[in-house]
């Protein structure tokens, strides 16, 4: 699986196609090795490259070594077990001839070598576990915070809940969690941060729609829309549906939820059904309103646009290695087209909220400034409480960007 990710496949696609053979424990181990190895991808690549005495091994053997190096550095497994099982795995992979090479490389890594550690520390990709172009962009954009952002990108993401205000209150649900032995604390109006992640089946009332899993940063979107009962609201890029659900939990509005991908649009409907909510869900591209719009303007529009995902890389560690620097400009061009299309659908005195889960300024401030320059009627509004547009990833939330645009009456 990791060899295929290295060749360009997404980790999500690989995991979706993997069977559950072996039970929950095997699935947990699979996730641990995939996510853990990819979070250290720059480092384990550099170690193999440095220690290999015969050039690069073939793709399967190299991916096997990445996994083994992650296992060794995680310190959750005995060193002799990792070496032994990795050598045995060569046979299972049909690479019996690589047994000696794999054994020698792993034992070389286990020997204390100050020279190797110094070389790894001097290599930015190995040290920060991000591509060089990604590191350079963050360093230029956030001179004081770039290392912290990179560190967050390699960490385990927090698990945050959004309490459904139509069913219960955050305080009451916090008490239910405590009664179930689940530690959590309140972050915002409806956000509860769990002390540690756990399976959805352990969450009281999850199946009944009392609570959803949604990052605390993502939960900023619905309140920023300033929703009022009876409004027509458009969630233009809605899948998987978390922000759509939060909108409907917040106010009695008529919501249209779009996604260009039919399968992802269907997931929105399933999410709303669990929560007992209803919306007009459509598989449609918001850039082509002539194919789906009824001509009636929207009072509020949420444009949670497709982006690089650089603010949520710890949740999708393959993103860092599958993205290319040229992709950022391509996303920015797509985002500009979405804004231009949606502006025509916004009612006078309406509000449009532009959102990305990116930390790259080219997708955020640059897109907004260009839009405002070519759209004289648009006015950027201050976020409530003087909140910053750019939310950098940290221990409590992922990285997001929010910009509120008013359309004068």
Residue 157 DSSP symbol: P
pLDDT recorded at residue 29 = 87
Confidence of residue 110 (pLDDT cuts 50, 70, 90): very high
The H or E element that residue 281 is part of is strand 280-283
Cα separations (Å) of 177 from 173, 205, 214? Answer: 6, 10, 17
Task: Output the domain CATH number for residue 176.
Answer: 3.30.70.1170
The answer on 245 and 112 residing in a single domain is: no
pLDDT recorded at residue 21 = 59
Tens of pLDDT, residues 113-132: 888 989 999 999 999 999 99
Sign of torsion over alpha carbons 210, 212, 218, 222: negative
Residue span of the structural domain in which 193 resides = 159-214
Nearest to residue 176, comparing CAs of 189, 160, 192? 192
Last residue of a domain, one of 128, 149, 181: 128
Question: In the structure encoding, which two tokens stand for residue 77, read together?
Answer: 């497994």
pLDDT surpasses 70 at 47: yes
Confidence of residue 158 (pLDDT cuts 50, 70, 90): very high
Residues 6+ apart with CB under 8 A from 16: none
Q: Tell me if 248 is assigned to some domain.
A: yes
Confidence of residue 391 (pLDDT cuts 50, 70, 90): very high
Last residue of a domain, one of 185, 214, 243: 214
The answer on 338 and 230 residing in a single domain is: yes
The answer on 297 and 176 residing in a single domain is: no
pLDDT recorded at residue 38 = 95
Question: In the structure encoding, which two tokens stand for residue 130, read together?
Answer: 């991000």
The answer on 49 and 178 residing in a single domain is: no
pLDDT surpasses 90 at 34: yes
Whole-angstrom distance, CA of residue 249 vs CA of residue 277: 8
Residue 236 DSSP symbol: T
Q: Tell me if 145 is assigned to some domain.
A: no
Mean pLDDT score, 336-360: 98
Between 203 and 54, the higher pLDDT residue: 203
| Annotated catalytic residue within 67, 237, 286, 357 | 357
Question: Nearest 10 degrees: CA dihedral of 84, 106, 24, 209?
Answer: 170
Mean pLDDT score, 145-172: 96
Q: Would you say 106 and 72 are in contact if contact means Cβ atoms under 8 Å apart?
A: yes
Q: Would you say 213 and 160 are in contact if contact means Cβ atoms under 8 Å apart?
A: yes
Q: Would you say 11 and 316 are in contact if contact means Cβ atoms under 8 Å apart?
A: yes
> Among 23-32, 55-64, 70-79, 151-160, where is mean pLDDT lowest?
23-32
The answer on 233 and 207 residing in a single domain is: no
Nearest to residue 340, comparing CAs of 373, 297, 375, 308? 375
pLDDT recorded at residue 27 = 83
Tens of pLDDT, residues 6-19: 999 999 989 888 76
Q: Tell me if 140 is assigned to some domain.
A: no
Whole-angstrom distance, CA of residue 299 vs CA of residue 346: 6
pLDDT recorded at residue 251 = 97
Catalytic, 167? Answer no
The answer on 241 and 170 residing in a single domain is: no
> Among 38-42, 53-57, 73-77, 248-252, where is mean pLDDT lowest?
53-57
Chain position carrying tokens 């710890």:
314
The answer on 329 and 253 residing in a single domain is: yes
Q: Would you say 313 and 246 are in contact if contact means Cβ atoms under 8 Å apart?
A: no
Beta bridge partners of 406: 351, 379
The 10 Å Cβ neighbour count of residue 341 is 18
The answer on 377 and 257 residing in a single domain is: yes
pLDDT surpasses 80 at 83: yes
What's the total number of domains in the chain?
3
Cα separations (Å) of 114 from 104, 256, 371? Answer: 18, 59, 52
pLDDT recorded at residue 22 = 63
The answer on 203 and 244 residing in a single domain is: no
Task: Output the domain CATH number for residue 72.
Answer: 1.10.940.10
The answer on 350 and 201 residing in a single domain is: no
Q: Tell me if 119 is assigned to some domain.
A: yes
Average pLDDT value for the chain: 95
Cα separations (Å) of 50 from 2, 105, 116? Answer: 20, 10, 8
Task: Output the domain CATH number for residue 354.
Answer: 3.40.50.150
Mean pLDDT score, 238-255: 97
The answer on 269 and 172 residing in a single domain is: no
Whole-angstrom distance, CA of residue 361 vs CA of residue 133: 14
Q: Would you say 296 and 232 are in contact if contact means Cβ atoms under 8 Å apart?
A: yes
pLDDT recorded at residue 20 = 61
């Amino acid at each position: 699986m990791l060899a295929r990710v290295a060749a360009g496949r997404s980790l999500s696609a690989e995991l979706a196609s993997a069977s559950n053979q072996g039970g929950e424990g095997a699935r947990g181990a699979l996730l641990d090795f995939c996510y853990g190895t990819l979070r250290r991808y720059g480092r384990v690549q550099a170690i193999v490259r440095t220690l290999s005495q015969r050039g690069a091994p073939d793709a399967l053997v190299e991916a096997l070594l990445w996994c083994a190096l992650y296992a060794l550095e995680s310190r959750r497994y005995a060193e002799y077990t990792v070496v032994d099982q990795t050598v045995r795995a060569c046979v299972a992979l049909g690479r019996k001839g690589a047994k000696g090479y794999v054994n020698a490389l792993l034992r070389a890594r286990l020997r204390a070598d100050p020279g190797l550690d110094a070389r790894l520390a001097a290599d930015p990709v190995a040290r920060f576990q991000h591509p060089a172009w990604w590191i350079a962009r963050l360093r230029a954009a956030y001179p004081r915070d770039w290392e912290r952002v990179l560190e967050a990108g390699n960490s385990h993401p927090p698990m945050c809940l959004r309490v459904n205000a139509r069913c219960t209150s955050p305080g009451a649900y916090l008490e239910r969690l405590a009664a179930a032995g689940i530690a959590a604390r309140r972050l915002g109006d409806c956000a509860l941060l769990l002390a540690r992640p756990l399976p959805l089946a352990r969450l009281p009332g999850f199946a009944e729609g009392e609570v959803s899993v949604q990052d605390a940063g993502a939960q900023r979107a619905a309140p920023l829309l300033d929703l009022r009962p009876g409004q027509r609201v458009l969630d233009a890029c809605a899948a998987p549906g978390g922000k759509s659900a939060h909108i409907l939990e917040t106010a009695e509005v008529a919501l249209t939820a779009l996604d260009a991908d039919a399968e992802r649009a269907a997931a929105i409907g399933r999410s709303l059904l669990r929560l007992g909510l209803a919306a007009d869900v459509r598989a449609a591209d918001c850039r082509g309103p002539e194919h789906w719009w009824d001509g009636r303007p929207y009072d509020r529009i949420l444009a949670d646009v497709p982006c690089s995902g650089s603010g949520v890389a710890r949740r999708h560690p393959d993103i860092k290695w599958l993205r290319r620097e040229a992709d950022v400009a391509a996303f920015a061009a797509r985002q500009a087209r979405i804004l231009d299309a949606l502006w025509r659908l916004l009612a006078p005195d309406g509000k449009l909220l532009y959102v990305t889960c990116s930390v790259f300024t080219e997708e955020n401030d640059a897109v907004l400034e260009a839009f405002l320059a070519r759209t004289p009627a648009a006015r950027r509004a201050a976020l409530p409480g003087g909140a910053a547009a750019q939310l950098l990833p940290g221990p409590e939330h992922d990285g997001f960007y929010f910009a509120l645009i008013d359309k004068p009456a």
